[in-house]
Amino acid sequence: MKSEFLETIKTPFLGPEGATVRKRSFRSVMLYAVAYPFSTGIVIYAGLMTFSMVLTNITGFLPQIAKDLYEGQLNTAGSIFLWLFAFFLGGFFAGWCSEREKLLKTRYLHLVPLLTVMLMYAAIGISGQRTENLHPVAFPGMILFTIGILNAMVSLTTSSLIKASQMTGMVVELGVDVAELFHSEGEKHLLIRREAWLRIVVMCSFIGGAMLSVALFPAIGTKVFYFPSAIILGVIVYDVWKF
């Protein structure tokens, strides 16, 4: 199995229908498949411990909005709508910078969202263990904004092949990949196998980041955000150096 995995990273990565993904090799895509989910794994567990909220995606918020609207709790529903907008705004910001980069034919404009994420995580880390000073609405909004950026960036980088935090889709798509492996051969079989490996790496990386957060958060509190901040900085440096 190890030899099969090594074989999959020797050739350039091709996205859907053979389209190259920003001329990135499969090894580069694998790096993103490790860095982004690992970072979000750390962040999401820290958010859970701070506010008892799973800040993975917005699906779980929609039933809560319906409940609050039905019961007339407009303030609570409004707060959740702000969180939904923060998630949307993160994706919009990342997509806008990437499209403007193509339009203006400039370099590295797509890194501005990642730089924003890095600075926000560093700012949260400065609060240390003083989680009571973090606003119960603004802080989750900041987290959802950054996760929206990370999901959008890894999606743009890999032609929507993987996501940074949406593990439900990863598991379902992995099941589809495994089924297709039994009914494919040649180049198509190799492509599907690569995608399956990517999804496995994403899930393992996400779990690894969460485990690190579990181990460190009780001792250092929100200083654990320094770790994803450093990881995102590493991705920025790598992108500048490599491309």
pTM of the predicted protein model: 0.79
pLDDT band at 63 (very low <50, low <70, confident <90, very high): confident
CATH number of the domain that residue 80 is part of: 1.20.1250
Domain holding 136, by residue range, is: 2-242
Which two tokens mark 57?
């995606």
User: For residues 227 and 61, is the Cβ–Cβ distance under 8 A?
Assistant: no
pLDDT band at 115 (very low <50, low <70, confident <90, very high): very high
How many domains does one find in the chain? 1
Share of the chain above pLDDT 70, in %: 80
d(CA 36, CA 165): 8
User: For residues 16 and 145, is the Cβ–Cβ distance under 8 A?
Assistant: no
C-alpha closest to that of 229 among 123, 113, 100, 106: 123
d(CA 141, CA 137): 6
Count CB atoms within 10 A of the CB of residue 169. Answer: 13
Which pLDDT belongs to residue 231? 94
Tens of pLDDT, residue by residue over 116-133, are 999 999 988 887 655 555
Tens of pLDDT, residue by residue over 203-229, are 899 999 999 999 998 888 888 999 999
Q: Sign of dihedral through CA atoms 96, 99, 104, 105? A: positive
Tens of pLDDT, residue by residue over 150-187, are 888 888 877 667 777 777 778 888 898 889 888 888 88
Local structure of 123: helix, strand or coil? helix
Q: Which residue has the tokens 């039933």?
A: 63
Of 9 and 201, which is predicted with more confidence?
201
pLDDT band at 93 (very low <50, low <70, confident <90, very high): very high
Local structure of 239: helix, strand or coil? helix
